[in-house]
Chain A
Amino acid sequence: MTTHPAADQATDQAPDGVLRPHAEQAFAGELAALAAADDRPRPPRWRLSPWAVTTYLLGGTLADGTVISPKYVGRRRLMEVAVASLATDRALLLLGVPGTAKTWVSEHLAAAISGDSTLLVQGTAGTPEESLRYGWNYARLLAEGPSRGALVPSPVMRAMESGAIARIEELTRIPADVQDALISLLSEKTMPVPELDTEVQARPGFNVVATANNRDKGVNDLSSALQRRFTTVVLPLPDTLAEEVDIVRTRVASLSTGLALPADVAHADEVARVVQVFRELRSGSTDDQRTALRSPTATLSTAEAISVVVNGATLAAHFGDGRVGADDVAASLVGAVVKDPLQDRIVWQEYLETVVRDRREWADLYRACRDLD
């Protein structure tokens, strides 16, 4: 098998003209099969039972033979805790460094539970309170005065009204005073609208899945009051090389589809090599634990490995022979590692000369990287 099943399915059902379809569109077939096979009790307004949601995330084979592709490769325990938390009306916070599939998991959770992953707030330093509560259509506000028609509900408010999952991305990037709007919302599950002398009460099924990058500590750290309202699940970096290679391959394959690249452009060996370079530099020692290495300042997350491979795939498809080789990944690989032109360059040179050079089967990569200098 050269591509991941998840990616195959994505090709089948992606609507035309969209770079990246939503999870509930890409995996509609799997969701439907699960819903049909699922005979366990479902919490109010859940499309699937907690068991089926977990199966959707972790993959498996249903009684009728339908194969559910794994969306999350990693510890089963973490997904179980995440789903169980949502089933008990507690908001969920997914923490992790870039590339640990936080957003991916949150999207699939929303898709599996509410069938809708679009009630989304993308957190930034400029996110105003209106994005979490509600805003006004000023033209209508001036014309009609305060009315329900002039009110612009936020995704969170819409989720409350429909009893669905609201997603908040990059929670720690949102200013602390805006974050505070969530505190009483999460405990009271109501949103008062004093202008209209009314309130929106959440319907069963409403919940919040937030994601945050725990390398970005200090951006806008969560207050303890808010932290208490979230069940926190820390998504770790993949445990093994094989797991990480698998993740990168899956994601590269699905991205390649969107970019109209040949699906098998990134073959497994090249992906494995890039991932190994990343893991070795990140952990500060070679895979066989024989040689200690210095680590660069770059995070070297899985997400960056994915982008290095995609970059290489694009180069190979448009300018090369159609297969990703050392020449195609070298440039973006060096770019990903060397973030600080002084310190990181030394680290990278050391790695190149002491590790890459000694691996005979890596001679092409060594040459390609040397040619760049």
Chain B
Amino acid sequence: MTSTEDVAGAAEAGPLLRRAGVHVLGVRHHGPGSARSVLAALEELAPDAVVIEGPPELDVLAAHAGDPDLVPPVAGLVYVADEPRRASFYPMADFSPEWVALRWAVARGLPVRFADLPATHAFALASQAEAEGEDAVPPPPRSRARLDPLAVLAETAGYDDPERWWEDAVEHRSATAGSALEAFDAVAEAMAEVRALESEQDPAANPENDRREAAMRRVLREVAAAHEVVAVVCGAYHAPALRQGAWPTKTADARTLAKLPRVKVTATWAPWSAGRLARGSGYGAGVTSPGWYQHLFAAWRDGTDVVAGWLARVARELREEGIDAPPASVVDTVRAAEALAALRSRPSVGLPELTDATTAVLCGGSELPMRLVHERLVVGSDLGSVPERVPQTPLAQDLARQQRAVRLKPSATPQTLVLDLRRENQRARSLLLHRLRLLGVHWGEEVDSTGTGTFRETWELAWEPGLAVAVVEAGLHGTTVLDAATAKVVEEAAGAGDLGALGRLVEQCLVAELPEALPAVVDALAALTVRAHDTLALLRAVEPLARTRRYGDVRGSETERVAGVLRTVTLRACVGLRASAASLDDEAAADLRAAVDSAHRGLALLAGDTAAELGPAWTQALGSVAGDDRVHGSVSGRACRLLLDGGHLDAGEAAARMGRRLSRAAPAPAGAAWLDGFLDGDALLLLHDEVLLGLVDAWVAGVSDEVFEDLLPLLRRTFSRYQPAERRQLGTRLRRGPAAPTAGDALDALVDLETGLPPALAVAALLGIPLRRTPTLQEAPTRQEADA
């Protein structure tokens, strides 16, 4: 290459003359080849200062880039101070040219500046545009060249995929091919052609881009005035506009940037992840294969073999998945990939060749195994980290402290965590997770525990880098996780207008252990209870309150006030229940039934004085609903069942009610709704109560054919809730007809009272039923004799 010699000659003749000025290195964001070329160019140029594309607000962060604990992928995070939800990220991975330039400069103690439209204006402009959004005329469609200038270049070179063209033409060119600076000059020139073509096709102004480039030049002017040799790392598209010769006058740029609105913004580093870099996550400037790029960059840096190294890793992952990938086949894969690259006239082996070769040689033509390892290899699970020294919101610092204290490290890979709340450390973890969830930092989601017992919690954990924003946002509420969660709950309680929501908040206070928030929530609840007339809402508030009362004692919270509110809520609900059950349609009845169920569950948890006071009231309320034939069948059926289960209604009465409800005179759909409410849940009742089963059976058998057909869907829904085994048992029981007289005797013969007694006593002790051994022993035979 003759031009290479020219460069060398020029360098010898007068290096300073040749180098002085602003040198633009136009890159592809997140391109490992660009990163390598940038490194080579920087070494060649030895600039006095480095300018990187990015808002100037990031300047304060540059110094931290030298910190060994700042591990990429990380993102420069710029957010509106009062409204952290509005944030911009500038992600950087190991292989990002921006990161390479940043580290290079910081390691040498050179000044680094960021150049772009300041975020303070960008955010303000965006919210302005949003406000005008509805009136504004939609912007005219942009030319393809403006949307994707690289695609035009690639097409010119005969490529269908612009990414591949850039990789071939720029990124895969080996470092020995010539001066890196020269390559960047060529890129800028080509891009200048594209931009010329673009403005020809679409002369409409692009104020956003103009502003950005004017702002970049403003920074460049400042830097160039103070330093002799300046290197600029920016997206290739901007390269022609930043070349020193092409600058418009200072006044022109100043005019472009005059009178822009501002908002207050703050910047910090946030950890990022490989998954977020991938395009799938919805970030425009992302790449599809960060894992591959990382590998490429590392292999180039360490001088190892790209292809063999990658395939060795693929083979290892495949073996993990149980696919034998013998070394001999790996060698063949290497050769196949190289042959493919040659066939496709590509200068070097790329990811498509490697994937095709692996699929054909190692995976027997099936694409399934490669999909298994795609996440781990091609995307990668790298998660960056940010040292505590970096200015963070106080809340983020507190969070980091707590994460360390409970030994729970954020990880991008989803994991399942089972916590036993009886252990101190695990309870602390649970508290942290609950509090974070209250703050909107959804690090973990609670899932159903498989085991029984209320002392166990199961969480699905995954630290999404986007949570960094949520943490910043949560920082508005307080400076520690505890304070912020408390403040947030108090704020929410003040704003909540719904008893159900407040009830849930009460429960949240309990599981997240926020004793200071509890009074505020209970006050709000008490105030609202006075005004609330909606029985449904009152009913719904019962369960969370009752749980708080029940388990709050266990956790040592102060729950006396809760008991008071619970009492009021329950009594008012009891009073209003009958009235609210009048003239319901099916949907409203279903809501009420669910609310009654939940209230019943809640009240069942209570013990002591509260239970003694509220229990009878509740029973009475249920009785008023159950006994009234004008109440919607679904609700009164359910009430009957609850009373029956609680022993407050004898079976004969229940049978009579059922007969009445299901008699011919009553409309059949109403009868079926009653049955649905009555039989909801456990099949055991039906299995063991011969009278009831007979009643149901007789009703089903007696109903006329047309009516039966109408009711069939509802009946089917009722019965399909039972387990198949239960249904089978029911069927057997029905087929056998009325209970055989011998069944009871046979059962007695099977029961060995001597053997059964000790466990029965143990269970009785556990349940707190006072039983003494001797009388029971005497009593048992007596009863048996009586039966016989």
Task: Identify which of residues 339-359 in chain B touch chain A, using a CB-to-CB cut-off of 8 Å.
Answer: 339-340, 342-345, 352, 356-357, 359
Is residue B332 contacting chain A, with contact meaning CB distance below 8 A? yes
**Cα of A336 to Cα of B339 in the assembled complex, Å:** 42
What is the bound-complex CA distance between A93 and B352, given in angstroms?
Answer: 20
In the assembled complex, the CB of A90 is this many whole angstroms from the nearest CB of chain B, namely 6
Instruction: Give chain A's interface secondary structure class.
Output: helix
A51 touches B324 (CB 8 A): no
Contact in complex: A81, B336 (CB < 8 Å): yes
* A148 in the interface (beta carbon within 8 A): no
Q: B340–A231 contact, CB under 8 A?
A: no
A95: which B residues are within 8 A, CB to CB?
365
Near A by CB (< 8 A), chain B positions 307-330 give: 324, 326, 328-329
A-B contact pairs, 23 of them (CB 8 A): A50-B339, A50-B343, A77-B352, A77-B356, A80-B340, A80-B344, A81-B336, A81-B340, A81-B356, A81-B357, A81-B359, A83-B343, A84-B336, A84-B340, A87-B342, A88-B332, A88-B338, A90-B332, A93-B365, A95-B365, A232-B365, A232-B366, A234-B366
Name the residue of chain A whose CB is nearest to the CB of B364.
A232
Q: Which residue of B lies closest to A222 (CB)?
A: B364
Please indicate the chain A residues that have their CB under 8 angstroms from the CB of B328 in the complex: 228
| A222-263 interface (Cβ within 8 A of B) | 224, 227-228, 231-234
- Interchain pairs with CB closer than 8 A, number: 62
Q: Are A232 and B360 in contact (CB under 8 A)?
A: yes
Q: Which of A87, A90, A224 is in CB contact (< 8 Å) with B361?
A: A90
Contacts of B329 in A (CB 8 A): 228
Residue of B328, B342, B343 with highest tally of chain A CB at under 10 A: B343
Q: Is A54 an interface residue (CB 8 A)?
A: yes
A80 touches B356 (CB 8 A): yes
B660 at the interface (CB under 8 A from A): no
- A85 B343 Cβ-Cβ under 8 A: no
Given known contacts A51-B343, A84-B343, A90-B332, A231 and B366 CB-to-CB distance under 8 angstroms: no
Given contacts A54-B343, A80-B343, is CB(A88)–CB(B364) below 8 Å?
no
Question: Which 3 residue pairs spanning A and B have beta carbons closest together?
Answer: A232-B365, A84-B339, A234-B365
- With A231-B360, A234-B365 known as contacts, the answer to whether A88 contacts B345 (CB < 8 A) is no
When chains A and B are docked, how far (Å) is the Cα of A80 from the Cα of B360? 11
Whether A88 contacts B365 by the Cβ 8 Å rule is no
Taking each of B332, B336, B360, which has the highest tally of chain A beta carbons within 10 Å of its own beta carbon?
B360
The number of residues on chain B lying at the interface, defined by a beta carbon within 8 Å of a beta carbon of chain A, is 24
CB of A209, distance to nearest CB on chain B (Å): 13
Smallest beta-carbon distance B336→chain A, Å: 5
In-complex Cβ contact of A231 among B326, B336, B343, B345 (8 A): B336
Chain A residues within an 8 Å CB radius of B326: 228
- How far, in Å, is B34 (CB) from chain A's closest CB? 27
Binary contact track A85-103/B, C-beta < 8 Å → 1, others 0: 1011010010100000000
B555 sits at the interface (CB 8 A): no
Q: Select the residue from A88, A90, A228 with max chain B CB neighbours within 10 A.
A: A88
- A80-B344, A233-B360 are known contacts; what are 5 more A-B pairs with Cβ within 8 Å? A50-B339, A77-B352, A81-B360, A83-B343, A88-B338
**Contact B345 A51, beta carbon cutoff 8 Å:** yes
Question: How many whole Å from A34's CB to the nearest CB in chain B?
Answer: 15
Bound Cα distance from A215 to B324, whole angstroms: 24
- In the complex the two chains form, is A85's CB within 8 Å of B364's CB? no
Query: Considering only CB atoms, which chain A residue lies closest to B353 in the complex?
Result: A84
A residues in contact with B365, CB < 8 Å: 93, 95, 232-234
Question: With A90-B332, A228-B329, A234-B366 known to touch, is A85 a contact of B361 (CB < 8 Å)?
Answer: yes
Residues of B within 8 A of A234 (CB): 365-366
Complex Cα–Cα for A146 and B432 (A): 86
Q: Is B717 positioned at the interface, with any CB of A under 8 Å from its CB?
A: no
Query: Which A152-167 residues have C-beta < 8 A from chain B?
Result: none
Contacts of B340 in A (CB 8 A): 80-81, 84
Q: With A81-B356, A81-B360, A232-B360 as given contacts, are A50 and B342 in contact (CB-CB < 8 Å)?
A: yes
Write out the residue numbers on chain B whose beta carbons fall within 8 Å of the beta carbon of A232. Answer: 360-361, 363-366
| Identity of the chain B residue whose Cβ is nearest the Cβ of A96 in the assembled complex | B365
Interface membership of B85, Cβ < 8 A = no
A90 B336 Cβ-Cβ under 8 A: yes
Q: For the complex, what is the distance from the CA of A93 to the CA of B329, rounded to whole Å?
A: 15
Chain A, Cβ-Cβ closest to B325: A228
Counting CB contacts under 8 A, is B664 at the interface? no
Q: A80-B356, A85-B339, A90-B332 are in contact. Are A231 and B361 (CB under 8 A)?
A: yes
User: Among residues 72 to 122 in chain A, which have CB atoms less than 8 Å away from a CB atom of chain B?
Assistant: 77, 80-81, 83-85, 87-88, 90, 93, 95
In the complex, which residues of chain A have a beta carbon less than 8 angstroms from the beta carbon of B335? 88, 90
Residues of A within 8 A of B352 (CB): 77
Minimum CB–CB distance from B768 to chain A (whole Å) comes to 58
**B359 contact set on A, CB distance < 8 A:** 81
- A317 vs chain B, min Cβ distance (A): 40
Contact A88 B336 (CB under 8 A): yes
CB distance from A112 to the nearest CB of B (A): 13
The docked-state distance in angstroms from the alpha carbon of A224 to that of B343 is 28
- Which residues of chain A are near B343, meaning CB under 8 Å? 50-51, 54, 80, 83-84, 87
